[in-house]
Amino acid sequence: MKAPITSESEMRELVIDLLSHVAPEADAGAIDPDAGIQDQLDIDSIDFLNFIMAVHEKTGIDVPERDYAKVATLNDCVRYLAAKAA
Amino acid sequence: MPSLGADMDAGRLLEWYVKPGDAVKRGDIVALVDTDKAAIEVEIFEDGVVGELLVPPGEQVPVGTPLATILPPGTVAEAAAPVAGEEKAAAAEVGAAEVGAAEVGAAEVGAPAVTPAVAPAAAPAPQPAAPAVAAVASRQHAPATPAARNHARALGIDLDELKGSGKHGVITCQDVDAAARAAEVAVAAVTPAATPEVAAAVAPGAAEAEAAPAGQRAVPAERPPVPAAAEPAAAPEGPPPTVAARPRTHVRASPLARRLAAELGIDLAGVEGSGPGGAVTQEDVRAASHAETAAVAAPAATPAAAPGATVPRAEAGKPEDARYAAMRRAIAAAMSKSKREIPHYYLSLHVDMTRPLAWLEDANLQRAVTERVLPAALILKATALAARDVPDVNGFYLEDGFHPSEAVHLGVGISLRQGGLIAPAIHDADAKDLDTLMADLRDLVKRTRSLQLRSSELSDATMTTTNLGDQGVESVYGIIYPPQVALVGYGRILERPWAENGMLAVRKQMLITLAGDHRASDGHRGGLFLSAIERHLQHPEEL
């Protein structure tokens, strides 16, 4: 059932991996992709900043603070980053 | 064994980062100690050369117990291999700030061993020069190396019943191990915890020292001391030589991995590390555990994800449960003590955050993502400056009254995702600029969550803060962490109607609260403190 590698699926994998590092006690791969990431993984503003910084480090994408609402769920986040990466 | 908080009366030594003969300087991290809350990196308080390691890894000892001896700087590493009849330099101990200690002994060569004594002292001995001879308990014990003595204590072995195989009949660690194995065969499945009698007998320092702090007592190991029992078996090569001459094999591993391994019964030496420098990580331990259990058990199913709930990784048994239970007990002890002894008063103040947040947003636009500053840093800095303005809320209340602190070390309550709470300190928060404060905060949160804290961070906060705004909470009225005298709480930043100069506007507001110790300050001073926080926040460019 593995989808062919597209930039979006790679991005999803990356995001889940980065979230796993920010919240190692939680299972980032098991979250509801359409619900808020912060609530589900119980991460606070510092964890979230660490995630944004990790995204920047791995992809070069800078998510400004005003766009935080656009990366609040896994699906939104992947779409946002994939669009920026394209 | 340093006291790493009001709620700690014993700690387990997990690992030594130094060996006899190593030169150390003040601030170096020399050991890893497990408390009920976390594995803490213990810093050394003075320069010198490591003499002898008195407590072997895996052993739990009361607060105040000497962990090692330290010799004056420049001392040749003769302590690593004691010479017959030689008296070791009197030693200042590692770690325990409140307790000076001296140790005399040439146990290795058969003189009656002198058990390390704990001598209460007002301040850490600045020079390891004056041996506290009067406090040294001279007990007639079976001759044994100090390490063997400690080892025996951890395993609950009575030294008087052993026959030593070392030089001049001295009991070595090997003898203790052999006795422990024999005992285990005889009494299967008995926890190798020391009986209270044995613990008291082999820890005379703690028991006999006059005016020992109340918390300082021989504590029998309550939980099965897995690391202690497993340690001999974990030694990778051959029969272990006596500890004094034994090169400790150093397996690099994160504290979390180390604890997990102990709880799962995994030998770290047999685990291949995938972390930095080949360090064994939590994942490696889990993988090793899975590999071991795969043959006999189906892998634990990941719990179905409940939307909106935290998704715990509850695989590989439930090692976090024991940790969490211990942490709850520690929190219970500290908070009960606080509510029993501290007459709290509570104040709150609505602070207009519009201006500071607008300033911060602008500032962040000029910054790289890696240098972004969160409102939390701003608020902490304003609080630290206010603590300098109103010192009545910053310091410690001890038996003889309130001691205001010159320095402002801000404790930051950090919740752990697996449950529980730790409040390590950001040192000198009032003197740090926002960038430094932010970097410190990020580092502290990261290390707290991975349970890699340092002893000073846990022992010297002069005031504690808690921020529940991320959870949507509007206000938090905290319980003071003794012996501190204030706890500052921050709620969520919310848009609210705000009336000013006869006009109504929508502003971003935060409710700041203070739980103050009425023995140290009154509501009036507490109010001045909250006002000072507000005042500083309205001038973010000066923070």
Compare B93 and B432 and report the one with higher pLDDT.
B432
Binary contact (B418, A25; C-beta < 8 A) = yes
Alpha carbon distance B370, A62 (integer Å): 10
Binary contact (B369, A52; C-beta < 8 A) = yes
Residue whose C-alpha is closest to residue B142's, from B57, B79, B201: B201
DSSP code string of B189-223: T---PPPHHHHHHH-HHHHHSTT--TT-S-----S
For residues B52 and B132, the answer to whether their CB atoms sit within 8 Å is no
Q: Assign 3-class secondary structure to B323-340.
A: HHHHHHHHHHHHHHHHHH
Q: What is the pLDDT of residue B24?
A: 87
For residues B470 and B449, the answer to whether their CB atoms sit within 8 Å is no
Q: What is the pLDDT of residue B143?
A: 67
Residue whose C-alpha is closest to residue B208's, from B67, B114, B113: B114
The yes-or-no verdict on residue B461 having pLDDT over 80 is yes
Closest CB from B302, B416, B441 relative to A46: B441
The yes-or-no verdict on residue B508 having pLDDT over 90 is yes
Mean pLDDT of chain B: 71
Residue whose C-alpha is closest to residue B96's, from B119, B77, B74: B119
The yes-or-no verdict on residue B464 having pLDDT over 90 is yes
Q: How far is B404 from chain A (nearest CA, A)?
A: 31
The Cβ-side half-sphere exposure at A71, using a 13 Å CA radius, reads: 25
Q: Judge residue B83's burial from the number of C-beta atoms within 10 Å of its C-beta, 0-12 exposed, 13-18 middle, 19 or more buried.
A: exposed
Alpha carbon distance B250, B13 (integer Å): 14
Whole-prediction pTM: 0.57
Q: What is the pLDDT of residue B338?
A: 95
Which residue from A minimizes the CA distance to B363? A65
Alpha carbon distance B48, B70 (integer Å): 6
What does the block give as tokens for A29? 């791969």
Helix (H, G, I), strand (E, B) or coil at B279: coil
Query: Which range (A51-60, B163-172, B232-241) has the least confidence?
Result: B232-241
Residues in Cβ contact with B296 at an 8 Å cutoff, skipping those fewer than 6 apart: none
Residue whose C-alpha is closest to residue B182's, from B162, B160, B201, B202: B162
Neighbours of B248 (CB within 10 A): 15
C-alpha to C-alpha distances, B140 to A38, B87, B110, nearest whole angstrom: 62, 18, 12
Model confidence band, residue B407 (pLDDT cutoffs 50, 70, 90): very high
Check CB contact of A32 with chain B, cutoff 8 Å.
yes
DSSP code string of B150-179: HHHHHHT--GGG----SGGG-B-HHHHHHH
Neighbours of B55 (CB within 10 A): 28
Binary contact (A45, B470; C-beta < 8 A) = yes
For residues B405 and B393, the answer to whether their CB atoms sit within 8 Å is no
For residues B153 and B173, the answer to whether their CB atoms sit within 8 Å is no
Residues making up chain A, counted from first to last: 86
Binary contact (B307, A49; C-beta < 8 A) = no
Closest CB from B282, B311, B449 relative to A27: B311
Contacts of A65 in chain B (CB under 8 A): 361, 364, 372
Binary contact (B374, A53; C-beta < 8 A) = no
The yes-or-no verdict on residue B312 having pLDDT over 80 is no
Which residue from A minimizes the CA distance to B320? A25
Look-up of token digits 């889990």: B286
Q: Can you state the angle between helices B146-155 and B173-186, rounded to 10 degrees? A: 20
For residues B171 and B162, the answer to whether their CB atoms sit within 8 Å is yes
Q: How far is B310 from chain A (nearest CA, A)?
A: 5
Q: How far is A17 from chain B (nearest CA, A)?
A: 14
Helix (H, G, I), strand (E, B) or coil at B358: helix
Residue whose C-alpha is closest to residue B75's, from B86, B64, B61: B86
For residues B521 and B393, the answer to whether their CB atoms sit within 8 Å is yes
Q: What is the dihedral of CA B441, B444, B449, B455, to 10 degrees?
A: -150
For residues B529 and B393, the answer to whether their CB atoms sit within 8 Å is yes
The yes-or-no verdict on residue B266 having pLDDT over 60 is yes
Q: What percent of chain B has pLDDT over 90?
A: 30
**pLDDT digit string, tens, across residues A38-56:** 888 888 888 899 899 999 9
Closest CB from B307, B369, B376 relative to A35: B307
Q: How far is B22 from chain A (nearest CA, A)?
A: 35
Buried b (16+ CB within 10 A) or exposed e, B318-350: ebbeebeebbeebbebbbebbeeebebeebeee
**pLDDT digit string, tens, across residues B409-433:** 999 999 887 788 899 999 999 999 9
The yes-or-no verdict on residue B315 having pLDDT over 80 is no
Binary contact (A40, B307; C-beta < 8 A) = yes
Helix (H, G, I), strand (E, B) or coil at B39: strand
For residues B110 and B133, the answer to whether their CB atoms sit within 8 Å is no
**Number of DSSP helices (H) and strands (E) in chain A, helices first:** 4, 0
Binary contact (A40, B470; C-beta < 8 A) = no
Binary contact (B313, A40; C-beta < 8 A) = no
Q: What is the pLDDT of residue B355?
A: 95
pLDDT, average across residues B453-475 = 89
- For residue B382, report the phi and psi dihedrals to the nearest 5 degrees: -60, -40
Contacts of B301 in chain A (CB under 8 A): none
Alpha carbon distance B264, B450 (integer Å): 18
Alpha carbon distance B425, A47 (integer Å): 18
- CA Rg value for chain B: 26
Question: 3-state DSSP: chain A helix, strand, coil percent, rounded to 5?
Answer: 65, 5, 30
pLDDT, average across residues B197-212 = 34
Alpha carbon distance B397, B483 (integer Å): 5
Contacts of B437 in chain A (CB under 8 A): none
What does the block give as tokens for B474? 């509007």
